Amino acid sequence: MPSYTAPTKDMDFILHNVLKVSEQDTPGYADLDRDFTSAILEEAGKLASEVLAPLNSVGDTEGCVLENGVVRTPTGFKDAFEQVKAGGWTGIDLPEEYGGQNMPYIMYTAVGETSSAANQAFTMYQGLTHGAASAILAHGSEEQKTTYLPKMTSCEWTGTMNLTEPHCGTDLGLMRTKAVPQDDGSFKISGQKIFISAGEHDMADNIIHLVLAKIPGGPEGIKGVSLFIVPKFMVNEDGSLGARNGASCGKIEEKMGIHGNSTCVMNYDEATGYLLGEEHKGMRAMFTMMNEARIGVGMQGLAQAEVAYQNALEYAKDRLQGRAVTGDENPDGPADPLIVHPDIRRNLLDQKSFVEGGRAFLLWGSQMIDQSHRGGDEAAEGLVSLLTPIIKGFLTDEGYDMTVQAQQVYGGHGYIEEWGMSQFTRDARIAMIYEGANGVQALDLVGRKLAQDGGKHVMAFFDLVKSFIKENEGNEALKADFLDPLKEASKHLQAAGMYFMQNGMKNPNAALAGSYDFMHLFGHVCLGLMWAQMGKAAMDAVENGEGDTAFYKTKIATGRYYMKRRLPATSMHLTRIESGADTVMELEAEAF
Amino acid sequence: MPSYTAPTKDMDFILHNVLKVSEQDTPGYADLDRDFTSAILEEAGKLASEVLAPLNSVGDTEGCVLENGVVRTPTGFKDAFEQVKAGGWTGIDLPEEYGGQNMPYIMYTAVGETSSAANQAFTMYQGLTHGAASAILAHGSEEQKTTYLPKMTSCEWTGTMNLTEPHCGTDLGLMRTKAVPQDDGSFKISGQKIFISAGEHDMADNIIHLVLAKIPGGPEGIKGVSLFIVPKFMVNEDGSLGARNGASCGKIEEKMGIHGNSTCVMNYDEATGYLLGEEHKGMRAMFTMMNEARIGVGMQGLAQAEVAYQNALEYAKDRLQGRAVTGDENPDGPADPLIVHPDIRRNLLDQKSFVEGGRAFLLWGSQMIDQSHRGGDEAAEGLVSLLTPIIKGFLTDEGYDMTVQAQQVYGGHGYIEEWGMSQFTRDARIAMIYEGANGVQALDLVGRKLAQDGGKHVMAFFDLVKSFIKENEGNEALKADFLDPLKEASKHLQAAGMYFMQNGMKNPNAALAGSYDFMHLFGHVCLGLMWAQMGKAAMDAVENGEGDTAFYKTKIATGRYYMKRRLPATSMHLTRIESGADTVMELEAEAF
């Protein structure tokens, strides 16, 4: 049975030694001193390891069951959800006026990593609610906000997002769900939505569905899509619950993983809905939430990699198998622990250097969300908008690969469900798909974000890398181990961008054929930058005699591994990108 | 519901245009003319797509059930197995004197790919039997051969391999199962074995377990391990079945995939066993089977990638989503098919170029097995022994990754079990683990095979690459698109080998820390060589006007993709290898 311990020390290192959050002038950041963040993260970590983690395999084994229209969640989920609600964990970053705690989004992300690592399927019930509440917060009328937000902040009511239909996922312009206007200003929503996470369940008094639909007579395609609030139970004026609305779960999907979350086919049969935001501006309303939602999914990829790594590491220390090639390290035992073997270490260090670098990337992105939303910082908004598809696509691709590597450490036991490693892999797999499949993230990055605002944001990224290198070149150890490799990798990224600029205009396929490699190339440079910053922070801490020297030295060694062993992937991605579109586009579809 | 069509045309292309099997002087190869191999592969393919493929998801959903010591296989498995037996497919390459058809191993591999792609879990029942029969064939007494081989060739009796115990898998020297000699020359076997595929089931009259165990008083560790034949039912002198032996299934494991195969915990309680081969030479007896068994697993990795690719391709052609960036390609439809999108093509071509290159590699390896076993060719034996860990490790790693990519083409539907793509991934996962986890393959490659016989075999590989390049340099198209990239990649491989030679002697960790990258680097060079040979064969076929020009041109284009887009990974692997052991070995275990 796997276990989970929240990496609070690592999180605090990033928050305070690297991002120096409490020194930032972003509203709310002054409160984030080390004592405060440590206390929050410790409590969240305790809940995650003691309450949520033990239910992870229960959720996987039992799954959700639909009977007579009612969905039963796995044993223990409801109790655990009550504990999460009671602790006030559901509204960490939501406004105080609706019962939230108004903490910065960066704290929501850090706390979210702990619960998602412990139990992804469970955490999604709250995560979807948070997404729906954010949409109402951003686009709802005052009445809608006061009607829904207090209950959604507390998760007494949960939320869902309804986008996909059987014949369309990415291409929502093909949508068929209809919203017919009624005399009282409401709409009758009819249609079928699929892949609706937490679409129906037994852990909340009401479920607030946000549904994309088309108002007949509106513009064709994606420009005619509007967003609606469709409550499971109608809400009376006094806030009490009324009649059941025409929204029902037709089926629960059998999935590869996240069995503890009810993935529903939702049928809307003249259900009463209320326009959220403007008519035909539904996609725009969704997109304002998109950065946060996608960063949240990137977090999931990282979280599964973290918990898988923790368990693989324990196994590698415990399991005795074979002898170190350089001489017995456990001479009194029948064999040495797995961790003496170089290839097991290579495997573990791939994981360790990814999760620690990825976490810094994730928290940096979250900080920029705060700078944008709380501080009105347009440069931060532009940069995080550029980096969001990378946070989502790169962290979930790599996160998944790392769960596969963690499983491999267990040998045959990694394939047996009882050991729990398979579940991490199966659960992590979805994050590469939902909130925009990773190919769509790559397309968004190269096709939209790169050239946005005249390429200003990618230039800002390069400036950031350059100035960090320049400021720290005097530090010889940092230069050799961190800055030089970062500079090299950053050159590859620039060359790739240049290739797109020179070729993409006359042949868009030349850019798009390299989009996936570009996303990964960019991801590695981001993690390279994070490791350079962490390397510096750790060296500073050692020099300043800040406590746990062993911790900081391990940080430096892990960073060196990333720069030496992982970052060189950038050169391969560049070569692929520069090979252009010819070999990709040459074959006719029939010739495949 | 996914489907499968055997890639017989591709197989024939490799067998005849590339390997030119019927021109080889290896015994049995003269029979392999195109008509013959086509007929065999067509029939095998028909059985695979019509009988085995439809049972694939049945096996996954139902799994195997243990009740009162009896294992029930999924609905339809027994009938299908009878059809496989009736068609004579179980003994294709086994000797005629025991009822086999004595075809070369290369045909066994090609046929095996079709059944494994259609239904891996099902095909394993026969595959394990084949492995056990091969061991008896190689090491059994005449009496043992006549007792067991006819029934095992026909699969009236199936076989198993019992190596792993709860506390040891890779390190079999720790084994605890005991074999106590009896006065009649037999042994009493006691102990527990785990992960025994096809350990107990209802599709055969008897099960012949091959069990590794230690005879008390023998040498310590791995040198004291012997191999035993332990039948489920005792076999009387007249060949009829006698009493039940003390071998029983204690549990069926719940696994990530291959649910249709019964993975058993086997308990041996003073079971009667018969020594197979010499006392204390059990590992040696196992190892003579190892190349074939590992090539068989490499085949599985490839097979799952093939079937996943076929379905992803169909989906990419059918599913309408979005528009081509260069203008509508399906203007009368609501959207264009997925395959117009460059990144979908990149994804599909990764898969296509891998499976076709991998298949050539696999069949070339199988040909060398024939040259060695049938032709007594020691050079072939040495080379295939070197390449076996790569066939196993590289084809299963990449094969798995390709099933993941295939799943991704389906978007959300790829995560839903109903569509079948998840099963390909889950089934493919085991191949990276069993028959020696891929890290062990890398260790075998770098720690043993590379330097074997004074490095003669790796030199032979380089000679082969060099002479192919030299012979064909006059072909300009081949040179630019295939030979030059192959030469470059081959240089990376040589540099890596050189690095190991220069550093591995004084610090074995310097080599072993790069072993996994070396396995992949070598794998890419092998596929590069295969593609260069296929490119040449296809160009020759076009020049000679041999029929289906479109087929050959597609082959060339697919090869160009591999050389441009996949092969450049060699440079990254070399960089990692040359970074040495420092960052890998630096941290103490406690510091992780």
Closest residue in chain A to residue B322, using alpha carbons only: A171
> B162 has which bridge partners?
B211
Q: What is the pLDDT of residue A262?
A: 98
Cα dihedral B230, B231, B232, B238, rounded to 10, equals: -150
Tokens 């470059």 -> residue: B488
Whose structure tokens read 């560049």?
A: A574
Of the candidates B97, B435, B546, B588, the residue annotated as catalytic is: B435
| Rounded alpha-carbon distances, angstroms, from residue B10 to B210, B363, B478 | 36, 11, 20
Q: How many CB atoms lie within 10 A of CB A80?
A: 22
Residue B156 is a catalytic residue: no
pLDDT given for residue B285 in this prediction: 87
The SS3 of residue A202 is: coil
Distance between B167 CA and the closest CA of chain A, angstroms? 8
| pLDDT band, residue B183 (cuts 50/70/90) | very high
The mean pLDDT of chain A is 97
Measured between beta carbons, which residues in chain B are less than 8 angstroms from residue A320?
Answer: 167, 171, 174
Residue B289 has pLDDT above 90, yes or no: no
CA distance A474 to A405: 37
- Rounded-to-integer distance, Cα A98 and Cα A146, Å: 8
Average pLDDT on A28-50 reads 97
Model pLDDT, residue B352: 98
pLDDT digits (tens, 9 = 90+) for B221-279: 999 999 999 999 999 999 999 999 999 999 999 999 999 999 999 999 999 999 999 99
Quick check: A82 pLDDT over 80? yes
At B139-172, the pLDDT tens digits run: 999 999 999 999 999 999 999 999 999 999 888 8
Q: Which residues of A touch B425 (CB under 8 A)?
A: 256, 429
What confidence tens digit (pLDDT) does each residue in B292-337 have? 899 999 999 999 999 999 999 999 999 999 999 999 999 999 999 9
Residue A100 neighbours by CB distance under 10 Å: 23
Is 80 exceeded by the pLDDT of residue B517? yes
Give the model confidence (pLDDT) of A117-169 as tens digits: 999 999 999 999 999 999 999 999 999 999 999 999 999 999 999 999 999 98
What is the CA B223 to chain-centroid distance, rounded? Answer: 28
- Please choose, from the candidates A209, A261, A580, A428, the residue with its C-alpha nearest in 3D space to the C-alpha of residue B256: A428
User: Using a CB-CB distance cutoff of 8 angstroms, which residues of chain B are in contact with residue A433?
Assistant: 408, 411-412, 414-415
User: Chain A residue closest to B401 (CA)?
Assistant: A401
Check if B581 contacts A (Cβ < 8 Å): yes
Q: CA separation (Å) from B520 to A102, A325, B365, B523, B570?
A: 49, 22, 17, 5, 8
Nearest CA in chain A to B325: A508
pLDDT confidence of residue A289: 78
| CB burial string B49-68: b at 16+ within 10 A, e below | bebbbbbbbbbbebbbebee
DSSP symbols for A401-415: HHHHHHHHHTGGGGG
Rounded distance between C-alpha atoms, residue B70 and residue B157, angstroms: 16
Query: DSSP state, B246?
Result: S
Q: Round to whole Å and give the CA distance between A13 and A357.
A: 12
* Cβ <8 Å between B255 and A321: no
What local confidence, expressed as pLDDT, does residue A285 receive? 87
Beta carbons of A415 and B422 less than 8 Å apart: no
CA torsion angle A565 A568 A573 A574 (round to 10): 180
**Cβ within 8 Å, pair A583-B349:** yes
Alpha carbon B27 to chain centroid, angstroms:
24
Q: Collapsing DSSP states into helix, strand and coil, what is residue B574?
A: helix
Q: What's residue A338's pLDDT? A: 97
CB contact under 8 A, A342 and B512: yes
Strands A225-231 and A178-181: unpaired
A253 touches chain B (CB under 8 A): yes
Judged by a CB distance cut-off of 8 A, whether residue B220 touches chain A is no
ipTM: 0.97
Is the model's pLDDT at A379 over the cut of 90?
yes
The per-residue b/e assignment along B91-114, b for 16 or more CB within 10 angstroms, e otherwise, is: bbbbeeebbbbbbbbbbbbbbbbb
- Structure letter (DSSP) for residue A71: E
- B284, pLDDT greater than 90: no
Task: List residues bridging with A82 in a β-sheet.
Answer: none
A553 has pLDDT over 90: yes
Give all strands (DSSP E) within A312-412, no chain letters: none
Query: According to the model, what pLDDT value does residue A378 have?
Result: 97
pLDDT at B505: 87
User: According to the model, what pLDDT value does residue A291 have?
Assistant: 84
| Whether residue B71 has pLDDT greater than 90 | yes
Say how far apart CA B575 and CA B518 lie, in whole Å: 11
How many CB atoms are closer than 10 A to CB A23?
Answer: 11
Strand partners of residue B337: B320
The answer to whether B552 contacts chain A (CB < 8 Å) is no
Interface contact flag, B342 A565, Cβ < 8 Å:
no
Closest chain B residue by Cα to residue A319: B167
Q: Do B433 and A408 touch (CB under 8 A)?
A: yes
pLDDT at position A406 is: 98
Q: Give me the phi and psi of A228, to 5 degrees please.
A: -130, 150
Cα angle, residue B157 at apex, residues B48 and B118 outer, rounded to 5°: 15
Q: Has residue B61 got a pLDDT over 90?
A: yes
What is the C-alpha separation between A451 and A463, in angstroms, rounded?
16
Q: What is the pLDDT of residue A290?
A: 81
CATH 3.40.1710.10 correct for B285-445: no
Tell me what pLDDT residue A169 has. Answer: 85
For residues B554 and A563, give the distance between their C-alpha atoms in angstroms, rounded to a whole number: 39
Q: Which residue of B has its CA nearest to A342?
A: B513
**In angstroms, what is the C-alpha Rg of chain A?**
24
What is the reported pLDDT for B180?
Answer: 98
Instruction: Look at residue B170 in the predicted model and tell me its pLDDT.
Output: 86
Contacts with A, B 268-327, CB within 8 Å? 313, 317, 320-322, 325-326
What Cα–Cα distance (Å) separates residue B225 from each residue in A141, B176, B180? 77, 10, 12
Over residues A464-469, the mean pLDDT reads: 98
Q: Model confidence at B425, in pLDDT bands (50, 70, 90)?
A: very high
Contact between B321 and A414 using a beta-carbon 8 Å cutoff: no
Nearest CA in chain A to B513: A342
The CA-atom distances, in angstroms, between B585 and each of A343, A454, B195, B513, B591 are: 10, 46, 32, 8, 11
What backbone torsions phi and psi does residue A109 show, to the nearest 5 degrees?
Answer: -65, -45
Integer Cα distance of B416 and B315 in angstroms: 14
pLDDT of residue A170: 86
pLDDT interval class at B569 (50, 70, 90):
very high
pLDDT score of B290 = 81
User: What pLDDT is recorded for position A288?
Assistant: 75
Long-range contacts, stretch A99-104, CB < 8 angstroms, 24+ apart = A99/A150, A99/A153, A99/A154, A100/A153, A102/A28, A103/A28, A103/A31, A103/A40, A104/A21, A104/A26, A104/A28, A104/A29, A104/A32, A104/A366, A104/A367, A104/A370, A104/A374
* Residues of chain A above pLDDT 90, percent: 96
Range A285-301 average pLDDT: 90
- B254: nearest CB among A344, A407, A416: A416
As a whole number, mean pLDDT of residues B553-561 equals 98
Q: Test B415 with A429 for CB contact under 8 angstroms.
A: yes
* Interchain pair A433, B408: CB under 8 A: yes
Q: How far is CA A210 from CA A130, A290, A295, A296, B226, in A?
A: 12, 14, 20, 18, 66
**Amino acid B445: pLDDT:** 97
Taken in order A44, A48, A50, A55, the sign of the CA dihedral is: positive
The length of chain B in residues reads 592
Taking the alpha carbons of B328, B331, B335, B338 in that order, is the dihedral positive or negative?
negative
**Over pLDDT 70: what percentage of chain B?**
100
Q: Within chain A, what is the greatest distance between any pair of CA atoms?
A: 83
Residues paired with residue A588 on neighbouring β-strands, in sequence order = none
Residues found in chain A: 592
DSSP β-bridge partners for residue A160:
A209
Is the CB of residue B430 less than 8 Å away from at least one CB of chain A?
Answer: yes
B227, B212 Cβ separation under 8 angstroms: yes
Q: How far is B22 from chain A (nearest CA, A)?
A: 28
Q: Is B355 on the interface with A (CB under 8 A)?
A: no
> Does residue A565 register a pLDDT over 90?
yes
Q: Give the per-residue SS3 of A474-538.
A: CCHHHHHHHHHHHHHHHHHHHHHHHHHHHHHCCCHHHHHCCHHHHHHHHHHHHHHHHHHHHHHHH
CA distance B529 to B551: 20
As given in the structure block, the two tokens for residue B259 are 């649910």
